[in-house]
Amino acid sequence: MTLNIDWENLGFEYMNLPYRFIARFKDGQWDAGSLTEDATLHLSESSPALHYGQQAFEGLKAYRTKAGEIQLFRPDQNAERLQKTARRLMMPEVPTDLFVEAVKAVVKANHEYVPPYESGGSLYLRPLLIGVGDIIGVQPAQEYIFTVFAMPVGNYFKGGLAPTKFIVSRDFDRAAPHGTGAAKVGGNYAASLLPGQEAHDAGYSDVIYLDPTTHTKIEEVGSANFFGITKDGEFVTPLSPSILPSITKYSLLYLAEHRLGLKASEGDVYVDDLDRFAEAGACGTAAVISPIGGIKNGDDYHVFYSETEVGPVTRQLYNELVGIQKGDVIAPEGWIYKVEISD
């Protein structure tokens, strides 16, 4: 099959691919699930996912290597995070085996849509878990749908690995103390739309969210995690119970220490003490790594390494991470899952 896709200019947009996976939970158990060509979910108008936000999602990618093979990056970690979110929202956990096999099945069925190695693109996968069925009171659903769909994507931030600027949000919090900040639930993202739009309107890539308790410490960068490289060479990311535990962030923590030889830690990142950092960036599955050129904080505008050039440590981390994801660098044990494509 010949695809009419401009691989070199992929954005981050939905595309209706031929196949997706769907499984249903009913009477206390998951069915085996299967692939379907139907891109429309059929659910009750009273589904708790629609009224009360009982839904969770994940995001991960499949990559084509230089040899043409296809591989996934740490999908078991996405499965575990979805399970944690499910427990928080009183939803049935999707077993890791079911999650990983569903993802593999979608990649295999749509393998022609995995972008070529040379394009720099990837196949983005969106697992989704929603509460459905005829429920109108505020209570957990009795039935659930787990689905996985996919689309080829390019860079989340236009311009690729290039520094952009962000602005500290003083009017909005990303999450409440002891709330659902550490869960990957849709409501967190819906609440970020307004502050994100205001940041874009003001000429910034996105907002920097502060901790909801004291409003003194950096928590997240839009829908991505923050990291900084101190002037004495330490890799630091914020630590807070209201931060989403990013798989990319924890991968970078490991790589910074074990591949680059840096001291790596999670801790407080005070917004009024940005001078300690020589470099900074945002990281996540969608963004991968986006260098932060500068941060606007009230009347202050702090520039890190450069507003036009990528810092050396940030570039090293990017090359190591992307090299692993695309098969150019040997991965730590257990990080890569191959997807076998039959002829």
21, 147 contact by CB (below 8 A): yes
231 catalytically annotated = no
Compute the distance between CA of residue 178 and CA of residue 199 in angstroms, rounded to an integer. 26
Do residues 283 and 314 touch, judged by C-beta distance below 8 A? Answer: no
Rg (CA), the chain: 20
Instruction: Give the separation between CA 139 and CA 339, rounded to whole angstroms.
Output: 39
Among residues 184, 217, 249, 296, the one annotated as catalytic is 184
Q: How far is CA 84 from CA 25, 78, 95, 101, 259, in A?
A: 17, 10, 11, 19, 29
Taking Cα atoms as reference points, which of 169, 215, 218, 177 lies closest to residue 195? Answer: 169
Q: Is 325 left (phi over 0), alpha (psi -120 to 50) or beta?
A: alpha
Contact (CB, 8 A) for 279 and 303: no
Q: Which of helix, strand or coil describes residue 322?
A: helix
Which amino acids are annotated catalytic?
184
